[in-house]
Structure 1
Amino acid sequence: MEFGQVDGLGLQTFWKMLYESAARADEVLCLNVEDLYPQDKRGRITARAGRSSGFTGSPAPAQLLPRLIARRTRGPLFLTDRKAPAGTPALDVCSETGRTRLSYRRAEEIFEENTRLLANPLASPEDIEDLNGWTLHRLRHSALTHDAEGGTSTPTLLARSRHASVRSLERSARPGVDAVARHVAERDPAARRKR
C-alpha cells in the first residue's frame, strides 16, 4: 500500500483506533499524546460542542501506541511525515518533531485510496484509478453495525458512539439481513424447546 506522506504505523493505528473506539474521525485526529492513558487503554477526546468525553479502546491500538508515540510526551498523536509549513497553528505542530497533525482531508484521501479494491471486490487492480473506496464515516458506522449485530444494547451503543439520540444511532447501526435472521432464530420458542 502506498501511504503518501503518512507512515504506515500511524495509519494502521489510526484506522484501528477509529474502528475499535467507534469515535468520529475528526475527534481521533484531534487527539494529542497527553490525551491518552495507554496503560488503561483509554483516552480523552473533545466531542462535539466542546464537551470532553472518554473513550475505551481495545488491545490492538493500545499495543501500537507506544511505537507510534516513541519518546514524545505531548503534541498531536497522528502526524504527517512533513515538517509544518510556516503559519501552521501551534496546536497542530509537534514541538518535539516539528511535524504537522494529519488532517481529516488527507486521512480521508488515504483511506479511500487504500480501500478501493475492498469496496469493489469484483474489480481488477488495473481499474483501481476508476474505483471509489470507503469513507472514514463508513468505517465508524461499520463498527457500530458490527456491535449491534453482536447484540450490544442500545444504551451501550449510544454511550460508545456518543450519539445524542437513538434516531441518530439508527442511521449508524444497521444490522444486515443475516444478523436479523440470526437474532430471530435464536429467540424462536420452537428452537428453544428442542435444546
Structure 2
Amino acid sequence: MAPPPPVEYAVAVERYLAASGLGDGSRRVYRIALRTWAWALAGRPAPTGAERRRSRPPVLPLALLDRPEAAARLRAAVDRRSRDTDPRTLNRELSTLRAALAWWRAQGWIRTDPADGLRPRSVPAPAGGPAPLAPDELRALFALRAPLREQVLWRLLHESGATVETVLALDVDDLDLVHRRTRPPAPPLGWQAATARLLPLLLAGRTTGPLFLTTRRAPATTPAPDRCPHTHRARLSYRRAAELLTAHAPALTLRRLRPPRP
C-alpha cells in the first residue's frame, strides 16, 4: 500500500530525493537548494554563506505551493537573489526546484507549478574569452552536412551574438519570425536571413515549448517548462549542444561562434 501524500514541504523534499536515484553528494546539494527555496516560499530571505547550510528552514505545508502567493514569492526571490548570486548557481538551483515540482505534480501531491514562467538568468561571457571564428572557419562550419537543429543553433548563436545559455533557454513562443527578433519578456535578440530561413523548418508546426530539443523523450522528472508538449522531448542542454558541435568540428567550441565585439 502506498504511503499517504506528505503534508509538509520538507517531507516531500526527502521523498523526492529518496526516489531520485542521485548519489549522496548530489542529494546533499539538491537538499540545500530545495531548503533555500523554502525560505522564499515562506516570504522570508534565505540565510547566506555558512549560515545557509546550518540553518533550519521554515516548516511549510506542501499545499502552500498551490496558492497564488507561492508563484509571486518565488518571482520575488529570484529577482532578489539575482542581484547577489552567481547566475550559474541560481539557474542550477532553479532547475532543481523545477525537477522536484514536476515529480510532486506527477505524484498528484500538488496541482500547479509555481515556478512556471521563471526564466534562467543570462550568464555573462567571461572577459577575455575565446577568440571568435574567422570568416573562413565560419564558412567551413556552415557548409558541414549537420542536422537541421545544429545548423539553426550555430547560426543563431553567431547572428544574434547571444550567450549559449540565453539561446538554449529560448521557447518557441519567444520568437517573432516575421520581424526576426524575440518578443518580451525574452531577452532582446535578433537574427539574419540564414537563421530566418531555417527556423520555420525547425519548428515544424510547434507553437510552444523549448526551441531546441533533444532527440529522445524527456524523463518523467523533467520540469514542464523544459519539455515540449507536442513531442514530449526535453530542452537541449549546454553539455549536449557542446558535444554535438565537437562531433562535427572537434577543434571548435560553442562560445567561439559569437561574432567579435565592435
Give the TM bin, normalised by the shorter chain.
0.5 to 0.7
Q: Which residue of structure 2 lines up, in the alignment, with residue 111 of structure 1?
A: 245
Q: Which residue of structure 2 lines up, in the alignment, with residue 101 of structure 1?
A: 235
C-alpha distance in 2 between matches for 1:12 and 1:92: 21
SS at match of 1:56: coil
Matches within 5 A, 1:159-174: none
Give the partner amino acid of 2:182. Answer: G
Give the partner amino acid of 1:104. Answer: Y
C-alpha distance in 2 between matches for 1:53 and 1:107: 20
Q: Which residue of structure 1 lines up, in the alignment, with residue 254 of structure 2?
A: 136
Question: How many residues matched?
Answer: 117
On the 8 A contact 1:108/1:135 being kept in 2, the answer is yes
Q: Is 1:91–2:225 an aligned residue pair?
A: yes
Deviation, structure 1 residue 53: 2.8
CA RMSD of aligned residues (A): 1.7
Q: Which residue of structure 2 lines up, in the alignment, with residue 119 of structure 1?
A: none
Q: Is 1:62–2:196 an aligned residue pair?
A: yes
SS at match of 2:205: coil
User: Unaligned 5+ residue runs, structure 1?
Assistant: 1-6, 47-51, 117-132, 149-195
SS at match of 1:23: coil
| TM-score normalised by length of structure 1 | 0.57
Q: Deviations over 1:82-126 (max 9, x none)?
A: 00012011111000110111100000111122112xxxxxxxxxx
SS at match of 2:228: coil
Structure having the higher helix fraction is: 1
SS at match of 1:109: helix
C-alpha distance in 2 between matches for 1:76 and 1:109: 19
Deviation, structure 1 residue 134: 1.3
Call closer, same or farther: CA 1:18–1:44 in 2, change over 3 Å. farther
C-alpha distance in 2 between matches for 1:45 and 1:144: 26
C-alpha distance in 2 between matches for 1:82 and 1:12: 19
User: Unaligned 5+ residue runs, structure 2?
Assistant: 1-145
Call closer, same or farther: CA 1:102–1:23 in 2, change over 3 Å. same
SS at match of 1:39: coil
Q: Is 1:77–2:200 an aligned residue pair?
A: no
C-alpha distance in 2 between matches for 1:74 and 1:53: 17
Give the partner amino acid of 1:54. Answer: P
SS at match of 2:178: helix
Deviation, structure 1 residue 135: 1.1
Which structure's CA Rg is the greater one? Answer: 2
SS at match of 2:219: coil
Give the partner amino acid of 1:41. Answer: R
SS at match of 1:13: helix
On the 8 A contact 1:45/1:55 being kept in 2, the answer is no
On the 8 A contact 1:25/1:104 being kept in 2, the answer is yes
SS at match of 1:54: coil
Deviation, structure 1 residue 75: 0.4
| Percent identity for Structure 1 against Structure 2 | 46
